Amino acid sequence: MRLLRGNQLGTLTIVAVASALLLVAAGGGGARELALRAAASSWRGLVGGPRPQVAVGQRMIVVLRSPSLAVRVGRAGLQADPARERRWTSIALTAQRRLLARLAAHGVRLRPEYRYARVLNGFSAAVDARALSLLEADAVVAGIYPVRAAYPATTVLPAAAPGRPGYTGSTLAGFDGRGVTIALLDTGVDSTHPYLRGRVLAGIDLLAGKGPAEAQARPDGDGEPERHGTELAGLLVGSGEGPRLLGAAPGATVLPIRIAGWQRAASGEWSIYSRTDQMLAGLERAVDPDGNGDASDAAKVALIGLAEPYAAFADGPLGRGSAGAATLGTLVVAPAGNDGPAGATFGSVAGPGGAPAVLTVGAADLRADAQQVRAVVRAGLQVLFDRVLPLAGAAAPRNGLEARVAAPYGADERPEGAPVPVEDFFDERGFSAVAARAAFVPVGETPEASIRNAVRAGAVAVVLHGSLVPAGALGFAGGVRVPVLTLPPGASERVAEELGRGASISLVLGRPKGARNVSAGRVASFSSRGLAHDGRLKPDLVAPGVGLPTTEPDFDEDGQPRTGRVNGASAAAAVAAGIAAVLRQARPELGATAVKSLLIASAHPIADDPLTAQGAGLVDVGAAAALEVSPSPATIAFGPDVGARSLEPERLVLRNVSIRRVTLYLSAPRLPSAPVTIAVSPTRVELAAGGSTRIVLRARVRRVPPTGVAQGVLRAVPVGGAAFRIPWVLGFQQGRARLLGSVKISATAFTPSDSAPATLSFQAGQVLERGGSASVRPVSRLDVELWDVTGAKPRPLGLLARLRHLLPGRYLFGLTGRDPQGKTLPPGRYRLRLVAFPTAGGSATRRALRFSVK
Task: Give me the phi and psi of 124, to 5 degrees please.
Answer: -115, 145
Task: Please tell me whether residue 730 adopts helix, strand or coil conformation.
Answer: strand
Q: What distance in Å separates the CA atoms of residue 41 and residue 45, rounded to the nearest whole number? A: 9
Residue 245's alpha-carbon distances to 92, 157, 164, in angstroms, are: 44, 14, 11
> What letter represents residue 747's amino acid?
A
Q: Give DSSP secondary structure letters for 655-681.
A: EE-SSS-EEEEEE----TT-SEEEEEE
CB atoms under 10 Å from CB of 354, counted, come to 31
Q: What residue spans define the domains of the chain?
A: 1-26+733-854, 57-147, 150-265+272-366+520-621, 369-516, 641-732
Task: Please tell me whether residue 50 adopts helix, strand or coil conformation.
Answer: coil
Which residues have CB under 8 Å from 446's CB, separation 6+? 45, 49, 50, 419
For residue 157, the model assigns a pLDDT of: 47
Q: What distance in Å separates the CA atoms of residue 781 and residue 340, rounded to the nearest whole number? A: 26
Residue from 560, 550, 509, 273 nearest 398 by CA: 509
- Using CA atoms of 838, 839, 840, 842 in order, give the dihedral in degrees to the nearest 10: 10
How sure is the predictor about 269, in pLDDT bands with cuts at 50, 70 and 90?
Answer: confident
Chain centroid, CA 600 distance in Å: 19
**Average of per-residue pLDDT across 537-550:** 91
Task: Please tell me whether residue 539 adopts helix, strand or coil conformation.
Answer: coil
Mean pLDDT, the chain, rounded, equals 86
- Nearest 5°: the CA angle 262, 263, 269 is 100
**Average of per-residue pLDDT across 536-541:** 95
DSSP character for 492? H
Longest Cα–Cα distance of the chain, Å, equals 90
Q: What distance in Å separates the CA atoms of residue 322 and residue 354, rounded to the nearest whole number? A: 11
**Average of per-residue pLDDT across 147-173:** 69
Buried b (16+ CB within 10 A) or exposed e, 631-641: bebbbbbbbbb
Architecture of domain 369-516: 3-Layer(bba) Sandwich (3.50)
79 burial level (CB within 10 Å; 0-12, 13-18, 19+) = exposed
User: Each residue of 789-829: pLDDT tens digit?
Assistant: 998 899 999 888 888 999 988 888 888 888 888 789 999 99
CB atoms under 10 Å from CB of 31, counted, come to 20
Q: What distance in Å separates the CA atoms of residue 470 and residue 317, rounded to the nearest whole number? A: 37
For residue 244, the model assigns a pLDDT of: 66
For residue 52, the model assigns a pLDDT of: 80
Contact status, residue 189 vs residue 235, Cβ threshold 8 Å: no
- Nearest 5°: the CA angle 609, 615, 620 is 100
Contact status, residue 849 vs residue 831, Cβ threshold 8 Å: yes
Q: What distance in Å separates the CA atoms of residue 286 and residue 279, rounded to the nearest whole number? A: 10
Instruction: Classify strands 795-806 and 779-788 as parallel, antiparallel or unpaired.
Output: antiparallel
202 pLDDT above the threshold of 80 = yes
Task: Give me the phi and psi of 802, to 5 degrees please.
Answer: -135, 120
Q: What distance in Å separates the CA atoms of residue 494 and residue 490, rounded to the nearest whole number? A: 6
Which runs of consecutive H residues, i.e. helices, occur in 238-304? 276-287
Residue from 485, 472, 417, 426 nearest 449 by CA: 417
Which runs of consecutive H residues, i.e. helices, occur in 187-305? 228-237, 276-287
How sure is the predictor about 475, in pLDDT bands with cuts at 50, 70 and 90?
Answer: low
Which residues have CB under 8 Å from 58's CB, separation 6+? 11, 12, 13, 126, 127, 128
Asked if the domains 150-265+272-366+520-621 and 641-732 are classified in one and the same CATH topology, the answer is no
Chain centroid, CA 583 distance in Å: 24
833 pLDDT above the threshold of 70 = yes
> What letter represents residue 362's amino acid?
G
Task: Please tell me whether residue 146 adopts helix, strand or coil conformation.
Answer: strand
DSSP character for 725? E
User: Each residue of 703-736: pLDDT tens digit?
Assistant: 888 778 889 999 999 999 999 999 999 888 766 6
Q: How many CA atoms lie within 13 A of 771 on its CB side?
A: 8
Chain centroid, CA 132 distance in Å: 28
**Average of per-residue pLDDT across 246-250:** 93
Contact status, residue 714 vs residue 696, Cβ threshold 8 Å: no
696 pLDDT above the threshold of 70 = yes
- Using CA atoms of 3, 6, 12, 15 in order, give the dihedral in degrees to the nearest 10: -80
How sure is the predictor about 594, in pLDDT bands with cuts at 50, 70 and 90?
Answer: very high
For residue 518, the model assigns a pLDDT of: 66
For residue 702, the model assigns a pLDDT of: 84
More confident residue, 38 or 183: 183
- The dihedral of CA 321, 838, 643, 344: what is its sign? positive
- The dihedral of CA 790, 795, 798, 799: what is its sign? positive
Residue from 167, 263, 241, 135 nearest 197 by CA: 241
Class of CATH domain 641-732: mainly beta
**Average of per-residue pLDDT across 116-141:** 92
Residue from 395, 356, 357 nearest 373 by CA: 395
Buried b (16+ CB within 10 A) or exposed e, 595-620: bbbbbbbbbbebeebebbbbbbbbbb
Q: What distance in Å separates the CA atoms of residue 842 and residue 688, rounded to the nearest whole number? A: 41
**CATH superfamily entry for domain 150-265+272-366+520-621:** Peptidase S8/S53 domain (3.40.50.200)
DSSP character for 12? G
Class of CATH domain 1-26+733-854: mainly beta
Which runs of consecutive H residues, i.e. helices, occur in 362-516? 447-456, 491-500
For residue 644, the model assigns a pLDDT of: 55
Q: What share of the chain is helix, strand, coil (3-state, %, to 5)?
A: 20, 35, 45
Contact status, residue 331 vs residue 300, Cβ threshold 8 Å: yes
For residue 559, the model assigns a pLDDT of: 75
Class of CATH domain 57-147: alpha beta
512 pLDDT above the threshold of 80 = yes
User: Each residue of 740-786: pLDDT tens digit?
Assistant: 988 999 999 999 988 888 999 999 988 877 666 677 889 999 999 99
Report cis status (omega within 30 of 0) of the bond before 682: yes
Q: What distance in Å separates the CA atoms of residue 535 and residue 612, rounded to the nearest whole number? A: 11
pTM score, whole prediction = 0.86
Contact status, residue 708 vs residue 344, Cβ threshold 8 Å: yes
Residue from 280, 234, 313 nearest 115 by CA: 280
CB atoms under 10 Å from CB of 744, counted, come to 11
111 burial level (CB within 10 Å; 0-12, 13-18, 19+) = exposed
- Nearest 5°: the CA angle 321, 322, 325 is 85
Q: What distance in Å separates the CA atoms of residue 380 and residue 377, rounded to the nearest whole number? A: 10
Which residues have CB under 8 Å from 262's CB, separation 6+? 216, 217, 218, 219, 226, 270, 271, 272
User: Each residue of 384-443: pLDDT tens digit?
Assistant: 999 888 887 767 787 889 999 999 987 777 877 788 999 999 998 889 999 999 999 998
Buried b (16+ CB within 10 A) or exposed e, 240-268: beebebbbbbbbbbbbbbbbbbbbebeee
